[in-house]
Amino acid sequence: MGHYVLRRVLQMIPVFFGATLLIFLMVYSLPGDPIAAMFGDKAADPATVAHLKHQYYLDQPLWKQYLHYMNNIFHLDFGTSFTGRPVSEIMKDAFPVTIRLALVAFFFEIVIGLPLGLIAGLKRGSIADTLVLLVTLVVISIPVFVLGYIAQTVFAINLGWVTATVQDSRDISQLILPGLVLASLSLAYVARLTRTSIGENLRADYMRTAVAKGLPRRTVVGRHLLRNSLIPVVTFLGTDLGALMGGAIVTEGIFNIAGIGNVLYKAINQKEGPTVVGIVTVLVIVYLVASLVVDLLYAVLDPRIRYA
């Protein structure tokens, strides 16, 4: 187990370098000059442009810029954005917001998605099953921004139950609506995955044995059926946590949440290299850690899987 984890952590190192290099190259190959863009439509003043380029190290060849950047990273310096704020400070502000939103969404995925899938899977063909299939189909086929605007108009503007946008992201109750919208698509997938998985495992030999042994239904479903059926669901949930963090741009935009998605979007538009590379690097690490945790969870769920 320990060896396995160590090996996986060591594998992250080349991935980290590869990812930062790729992102770095991509940001710097975006069209347009970020310094000239700071002047808007006015003709950029060449003397000021030259000075600013020097200040942001942009007058150096690309490989030197990358070495300079990596060297700073090892001194835990993520660089400075054009606003004069250290990128590390920007991330310190934005990541907690996104993590809170992602956790709220994650919570709904599990608390709503799993039971829906369980009910539908246990009673295949019933009205409940058909209903779950229908609702999830609708949710999957509607783009998230449509869902977001509908929820905002109905619950905030028409009914006035919640504020239209998030006024204070530290208030979890304000994150419920955006969290639900963000969770909606994955929630539908979780329900459908669980339903299929349960349906398959219901016919497994060990289930027949468990029932034949005369175990109470709760034990049969809880310990034998659910535990085995969760493996594909956990795989999905694990990778989804990473997707929730980086892919919340649309939801963050609709509900005006100052999370990582918003900051990243703005930084890409302004071609702020240090901010983009810093944020995406952290996202890559989050993704790697999440997939490691998923792999370790397999062993917990399925006794047949062991990591030497």
Partner 1 sequence: MPAGTRVRWAVVSATSVALMATGCGGGGSSSSGGSSDASKTFTYQSSEPQNPLQPANANETGGGRIVQNLFKGLADYDPSNGKLRMQVADTIDTSDAQTYTVTMKSGWTFHDGTPVTAKSFVDAWNWAASTKNNQINSSWFGDIQGYADVHPQSGSPTSDTMSGLTVQDDTHFTIKLTNKVSYFPYKLGYVAFSPLPEGFYKDPAGYGQKPVGNGPYEFVSWDHNSQVATKTFANYQGVDKPKNGGVVFKMYTTAEAAYADLQSNNLDVMDQVPPSALANYKNDLGDRAIDAPQGAIQNVGFTLYQPEWQGADKAKVRQGLSMAIDRNTITKTVLQGSRASASAWVAEGVEGYKAGTCGDFCTYNPDKAKQLIQEGGGVPGNSLKITYNADGGHKEWVDAVCNSIRQATGVNCSGDPKTDFKTARAAITGHQINGMFRTGWVQDYPLNANFLADVYRTGAASNDTGYSSPEFDKLATEADQAASIQDTATGYQQAEAQLATDMPAIPLWYYRTNSGFSTKVQNVTFDSFGNPAWTQVEVKG
Tell the smallest beta-carbon distance from residue 44 to partner 1 (Å): 9
CB contact set of 261 (below 8 Å; sequence gap of 6+): 98, 246, 247, 248, 249, 250, 251, 252, 253
Helix, strand, or coil (residue 307)? coil
CB of 253 to partner 1, least distance (A): 5
User: Closest CB to partner 1 among 72 and 163?
Assistant: 163
In the bound complex, what is the minimum distance in angstroms from residue 172's beta carbon to partner 1? 17
Nearer to partner 1, 156 or 231 (CB): 156
Reduced to 3 DSSP states, what percent helix, strand and coil does the chain have, rounded to the nearest 5?
75, 0, 25
Instruction: Name the residues that contact partner 1, by CB under 8 A.
Output: 31-32, 37-43, 45-48, 50-52, 55, 82-85, 89-90, 93-94, 149, 152-153, 156-157, 160, 163-165, 167, 252-256, 258, 262-263, 265-266, 270
Closer to partner 1 by Cβ: residue 119 or 181: 181
- 3-state secondary structure string, 89-122? HHHHHHHHHHHHHHHHHHHHHHHHHHHHHHHHHH
Question: How far, in Å, CA of 37 to CA of 43, rounded?
Answer: 10
Of 139, 143, 146, 251, the closest CA to residue 184 belongs to 139
Q: How far is the CB of 47 from partner 1 (least distance, A)?
A: 5
CB of 125 to partner 1, least distance (A): 42
Instruction: For partner 1, give the closer residue by CB, 6 or 37.
Output: 37
Bridge partners, 86 (sequence order): 80
Task: Tell the smallest beta-carbon distance from residue 266 to partner 1 (Å).
Answer: 7
Nearer to partner 1, 37 or 62 (CB): 37
97/288 with CB nearer partner 1: 97
**CA-wise closest residue to 62 among 15, 18, 21, 14:** 21
